Amino acid sequence: MNWAGERGTRTLRLFYALWPNDGCCAALAAAAAPAIAQVVGQPVPPGNLHVTLAFLGMVPGRSLGDLVSVGGRGTWPAVELAFARIEYWVEPKVLVALPSEVPAAGCAMVDRLWQGLEPLGFQREQRPWQPHLTLVRRIRRPPPDDLDIAPFAGRGPGPAWRLALVESSSYPGGVRYKPLADWPLA
């Protein structure tokens, strides 16, 4: 694919993520719906649900080819995320779903991505990877303490997740995420 087209001439806000298939996305949204309904804020549209692996920030479009190459190197391990609890994060004012444990395969993916990204000049965040799904942004007041999510393991027919290089674009109605390239998990 030619990455020097229209995107190659501008700056893009990019990240790598675990991207759910349509069935997984719908099931995640359904599992979180009761909690989301109790929160005053901006719900994340189901089509934007993802688990960030590596945030890159603003990137020149001419770098897309290198970033696609990083994602396309070899086979990526399957990751199982069993979302079991919800937390309110005060500083960014978001409601997130968290897995019951941090999957080793996800940590391996993050490490491998950064092994390919650091030589390209990207700097890894110092905090350890904390997989989460952001459910609601811009929360106006702290939510009730007893919010819960129906346990969800992201299983079903076919792989629930893919690795994706995602573009984040701002519009008057909010932010939209669009995978620019994606790769299956083993």
When pLDDT is cut at 50, 70 and 90, the band that residue 8 belongs to is low
Q: Give the pLDDT score at 154.
A: 60
- Mean pLDDT for 16-42 is 92
pLDDT at 142 over 60: yes
Q: Residue 88: inside a domain, yes or no?
A: yes
pLDDT at 13 over 60: yes
Residue type, position 72, single letter:
G
- Mean pLDDT for 125-134 is 94
Q: Give the pLDDT score at 157.
A: 52
Reduce the DSSP state of residue 125 to 3 states and report it. coil
Q: What residues contact 85, with CB distance under 8 A and at least 6 apart?
A: 97, 98, 100, 148, 149
Q: Residue 1: inside a domain, yes or no?
A: no
Q: Residue 155: inside a domain, yes or no?
A: yes
Range(s) of the domain holding residue 78: 6-184
Domain total for the chain? Answer: 1
pLDDT at 60 over 80: yes
d(CA 32, CA 27): 9
- pLDDT tens digits, 89-100: 999 999 999 998
Does the CA dihedral 124-130-132-136 come out positive or negative? negative
d(CA 175, CA 113): 24
| Share above pLDDT 70 across residues of the chain, in percent, rounded to a whole number | 92
- Mean pLDDT for 106-130 is 96
Give the chain's largest Cα–Cα span.
49
When pLDDT is cut at 50, 70 and 90, the band that residue 73 belongs to is very high
Query: Could you tell me the two tokens for 69?
Result: 């190459």
Q: Tell me, what DSSP letter sits at residue 77?
A: P
Specify burial of residue 124 (Cβ count, 10 A radius: 0-12, 13-18, 19+). middle
pLDDT at 114 over 80: yes
Q: Residue 65: inside a domain, yes or no?
A: yes
Q: Give the pLDDT score at 146.
A: 83
CATH number, position 117 = 3.90.1140.10
